[in-house]
Amino acid sequence: MNLNYALPQREDLLVRGLLCGEEILYCLPYDLNERGSYVDGYFIITKTRIILLCNGEIASEYKIKAGEDYLAEDLVSSGRIEGVFGGEVCVLAYYTMEHVPRYAYAQRILNELAVGEMPKIESIDDEKKCPKCGRAYLKRTKICPHCLSKISAFGKIAMVVKPSWYLYVIILVLFWCNSGVMLYQPLVNRYIVDRAILPMSSGTMPLSLPILVFYIALIAACNLAVSLIGVGRQYVTTEASSRLARDLKNMVYSKVQELSISYLDEQKTGNLMNRISRDTQRVQNFIQNIASQAVNEIFLLLGVLIALFLYNWKMAALAVLPIPLVVVFCGGVHDRMHKMYRNQWVKMDKLNSFLNDILNGIRVVKAFGQEERAIGQFQDDAESVRRLTTKTEHFYATLIPAIRFLMTLGSLMITFYGASLVLKERLSVGELLQFSTYASYLYGRLEWFSMLPRWMSEAANAIERIFEVLDHEPEITDEKNAVDADIKGNISMVNVTFGYKTYQPVVKNLSVDINHGEMIGLVGHSGAGKSTVINLLMRLYDADEGDIFIDGINIRNLSQASFKSQIGVVLQETFLFSGTILENIRYAKPEATIDEVIRAAKIANAHDFIVSFPNGYDTRVGERGQRLSGGERQRIAIARAVLTDPKILILDEATASVDTETEQLIQEALKRLIKGRTTIAIAHRLSTLKNADRIMVMDHGKLAEFGTHEALMQNEGIYYTLVMAQKKMSAIKAL
């Protein structure tokens, strides 16, 4: 992100004159004044001064050291930077949300300069907008939609079908054959009419019976050939399109697995599911039924046009007369069709996401007696899908007859002109029949092509949505030289700063060393940054500043697969997959033996209750493990963590949602589990951290205290206050 904009020439001269050689360290734009109007301003920072330029004039100047406590305050839809001058808070500048991240840096810069330090602050954030045209980049990309060299959606699909190219060549050959046979048939019909049915009118010799039989057999052979080619074509296109659908499904699914948590957090599950299943199905249908047919139709259309013009160019000209009208008409409605289908899809997506939400949370809906409301909401959404679908279909239903009508005009003209030639005996009836058949082929193709915008719109939307996922770059990727390493579990965090929005750090300048085998308790008020520390340690996110080392190796240089296979996690809300208990325990290590599974279950205090189930380890846990109690699910999760023999263990409120008796069982299990492993445990109930070697106390993203329980109690800081508060609460509860 640019923190040092170049000033326009005039302003540059003006400022240089004022600065007398002093260097501009940072120069940020600001675009609002205190009256709430947009302005063209610059916020210039030198070593000693702040200079504000507004609409080409110097607006104000401040001495940095005269102020203190500089703050970039986010308002709801704008921001302001202020400082305390002579004990009074003064606003220096207002800006829109576009510049909020820049002024978060400016705050740090000014506070460092105010205390006489020389800031070395550089932004690691990317610009969100194209420097050429100012438009926003496409989400999570550096692609400007305006400046993009436009690769069509169908071009992208061509890349995916490449491995099965030979199947498409076979399809093409079959289509050529099909078109050839179809074009030949009217010629045979003409011979039969002119020579057998109406020989006198055409002035030709009547056919002998064997020749007639030959022609009839020829028609039968043509029909048979068309049918056989059709069967062959269907086989090959089905094979090709199902391969394509499989590849697309695999690509989207793999991409979803690769994408970072931050992207997945923004997506609705139903929406992603649609892309993997429904959109890929739609593309398959398009390739199987439409795209292949389109090739056939194009060949036939060209063949028919050539045949018509070779035969009688005047009649051919009449036949093609409606084509420009149809093309203009279809072109005109294409955009509207595209929009209507996209809107329909958006509403369908909303409906599916809602359904997904409600079905996942059905227990909450029922517990609060909100069934009626859920039904009402669903009905509203379903109604709006119905409205849009009806609107689209009505439009479509009007479009097709209109096109048909346009094409009948051409047909009428051919009939009139052809019949007049027959009457003048300049054309035989057979020839007119042959010509009319070709013309009907032509109109059939045109009608088919008139429907193409609808099919293409549907498929293009599906393809766009699939590639929206495929084109995303995961934020956390393996470095080129990433290594697989067997880790011991020494953790070192050096000056780590991180924010979900980089300009709002949640963890600030955190430095801590943890030895392997140590158990560390992580405590602090909610929002203090505990979970974020764990997210960073698990490399669900990368730190914005600073580094995390595992056994001296930078976490970024460890391959994710290898690193994550050596981490075990037990969360407050345990997620079990639909399947048996055995499958769930084996989840992270599918090759584990039965012995290993039982031993893990025993360590987790789970073996006894599992055995008591009628189906033992083969008990199905239900979706998300709903058939088990919270404590049971938790212990299975512990067994799952034990099985991988993790070197680093993360416990996030592992016993927060269970009763005291179960908690004891789980605590016992955890005690066995953490032995010899580096353990980081978040707990609100501080008594659960009695086994911790050291306690990390987080406060507003910073490491406030770090030491043993005894040392921290003696210190009488935040930890002491938390412990005393909980003791008081326990005493009250005991009453």
Partner 1 sequence: MSPQRGFGPPPGGMPPGMEKPRRKMGIGKFTDIVYLLPENITFYKTKGGLIGAKTKDYDGRANLFRIFPLNLENKYISVRDKDLTELGIIEDMEIFPQEQIELMNDELNKRYFIPKITKVIEAKEEFGNYFWNVETTAGERKFSMRDLANNVIHKKNGAIVLVDVDGSRYEMEDVYKTAGKALKFLDIWL
Q: Which of 276, 534, 555, 683 binds partner 1 (CB under 8 A)?
A: 534
Tell the smallest beta-carbon distance from residue 525 to partner 1 (Å): 11
Tell the smallest beta-carbon distance from residue 735 to partner 1 (Å): 22
Mark 493-512 with x for binding to partner 1 (rule: CB under 8 A) and - for no binding. Answer: -------xx--x-x------
Q: Which of 343, 377, 580, 726 binds partner 1 (CB under 8 A)?
A: 343
Q: Which of 9, 38, 734, 735 binds partner 1 (CB under 8 A)?
A: 38
* Span near partner 1 by CB under 8 A; candidates 325-333, 572-580, 658-666, 672-680: 572-580
CA distance 403 to 346: 28
Mark 573-612 with x for binding to partner 1 (rule: CB under 8 A) and - for no binding. Answer: xxx-------------------------------------
Q: Which of 24, 53, 93, 100 binds partner 1 (CB under 8 A)?
A: 100
Short-list 630, 629, 641, 667, CA closest to 584 = 641
Tell the smallest beta-carbon distance from residue 683 to partner 1 (Å): 13
**312-318 own/partner pairs: CB under 8 Å, 24+ apart:** 312/427, 312/435, 314/417, 315/414, 315/417, 315/418, 315/435, 318/410, 318/413, 318/414, 318/417
Two tokens at 109? 């810069």
DSSP type of residue 4: B
Q: Is 96 left (phi over 0), alpha (psi -120 to 50) or beta?
A: beta
Note the Cα 179 to chain centre separation in Å: 42
Tell the smallest beta-carbon distance from residue 215 to partner 1 (Å): 57
364 binds partner 1 (CB under 8 A): no
Residue pair 502/544 in contact (Cβ under 8 Å)? The answer is yes
Nearer residue to partner 1 within complex by CB, 374 or 569: 569
Starting at the earlier edge strand, list the strands of the sheet with 567-571: 567-571, 648-652, 678-682, 519-524, 694-699, 702-707
677 binds partner 1 (CB under 8 A): no
- Using CA atoms, how far residue 648 sits from 367, 413, 519, 569, 707, in Å, is 38, 83, 10, 9, 20
Tell the smallest beta-carbon distance from residue 503 to partner 1 (Å): 12
368 burial via Cβ count (<10 Å: 0-12, 13-18, 19+): exposed
Two tokens at 446? 């045109």
CA distance 670 to 683: 13
Tell the smallest beta-carbon distance from residue 148 to partner 1 (Å): 7
Nearer residue to partner 1 within complex by CB, 100 or 582: 100
N- to C-terminal Cα distance for the chain?
58
Tell the smallest beta-carbon distance from residue 89 to partner 1 (Å): 5
458 binds partner 1 (CB under 8 A): no
Q: Which of 700, 704, 717, 726 binds partner 1 (CB under 8 A)?
A: 700
Tell the smallest beta-carbon distance from residue 98 to partner 1 (Å): 4
DSSP type of residue 146: T
56 binds partner 1 (CB under 8 A): no
Tell the smallest beta-carbon distance from residue 392 to partner 1 (Å): 12
Nearer residue to partner 1 within complex by CB, 79 or 453: 79
Mark 420-449 with x for binding to partner 1 (rule: CB under 8 A) and - for no binding. Answer: ------------------------------
β-pairing, 694-699 with 702-707?
A: antiparallel
Tell the smallest beta-carbon distance from residue 313 to partner 1 (Å): 43
Residue pair 60/33 in contact (Cβ under 8 Å)? The answer is no
Q: Which residues contact 649 (CB under 8 A, 6 or more apart)?
A: 567, 568, 569, 570, 641, 673, 674, 677, 678, 679, 680
Two tokens at 112? 């460092």
* Span near partner 1 by CB under 8 A; candidates 11-19, 91-99, 543-551, 606-614: 91-99
Tell the smallest beta-carbon distance from residue 558 to partner 1 (Å): 20
Nearer residue to partner 1 within complex by CB, 96 or 497: 96
Nearer residue to partner 1 within complex by CB, 136 or 729: 136
**CB crowding 78-89: b at 16 or more within 10 Å, else e:** bbbbbbeeeeee
Nearer residue to partner 1 within complex by CB, 39 or 66: 39
State the residues that interact with partner 1 by CB under 8 A.
Answer: 32, 34, 36-39, 69, 71, 73-78, 80, 82, 85, 88-91, 94, 96-98, 100, 128-129, 134-136, 138-139, 143, 145-146, 148, 261-262, 264-265, 269, 339, 343, 346-347, 350, 388, 464, 468, 500-501, 504, 506, 527, 530-532, 534-535, 540, 569, 571-575, 652, 700
